[in-house]
Amino acid sequence: MALIPWRPREMWWDPFRDLEAIQNEMNRLFDSSLLRWSDRDVGLLEGAWSPAVDIYDSKGNVMVKADIPGMKKDEIEVSVNKDILIIKGEKKQEKETKEKDFVRTERFYGSFNRAIRLPAEVDASKVNATYKNGVLELVLPKKEEAKPKQLKIDIK
């Protein structure tokens, strides 16, 4: 009979430990794209930003609200292609802080390009956009064929 030296349980080889480490790293990568105000480095996603949006679907329209503070309305470009809404722009950094030493900076700067698939195809010629207090509001009327139709069925 062969004797096997005793090792503490945590020293045993566990084939799932490596898989768990990979899963944790993948979770950290995907979570970091959702955590906009994180203190830790985000690796590949560092420096990238895009405006947060809310999308509402009503009977005749798709409503979109996007938070884009600190920009002028002529610095924002909005376009629609079938059921894809594209919001582009560039937020420039202020240059007044030449003699100040930053301790912390959390505001995002740089260009952004956000493409959002809408729940229905919209009529791009009738889109209404307003920009007030850093919030871009879009009213996108649905195309007639995309609107839900209710048919009356006769019961015999």
Residue with tokens 């899963």: 23
| Whether this model's pTM surpasses 0.85 | no
Number of domains making up the chain? 1
User: Would residue 20 count as lying in a domain?
Assistant: no
User: Would residue 44 count as lying in a domain?
Assistant: no
- Residue 66 maps to which CATH number? 2.60.40.790
- Owning domain of residue 80: 49-93+109-146
Residue with tokens 């329209």: 61
pLDDT tens-digit profile, the chain (156 residues): 677 777 666 666 677 777 888 888 888 777 655 544 444 444 444 446 788 999 998 888 999 999 998 888 889 999 998 888 999 998 877 665 556 676 776 777 788 888 999 988 888 888 999 999 999 999 999 887 756 666 667 777
User: Would residue 62 count as lying in a domain?
Assistant: yes
User: Would residue 31 count as lying in a domain?
Assistant: no
Q: In what order do the strands lie in the sheet with 135-141?
A: 53-57, 61-67, 135-141, 128-132
User: Would residue 69 count as lying in a domain?
Assistant: yes
Instruction: Fill in the amino acid letter for 87.
Output: I
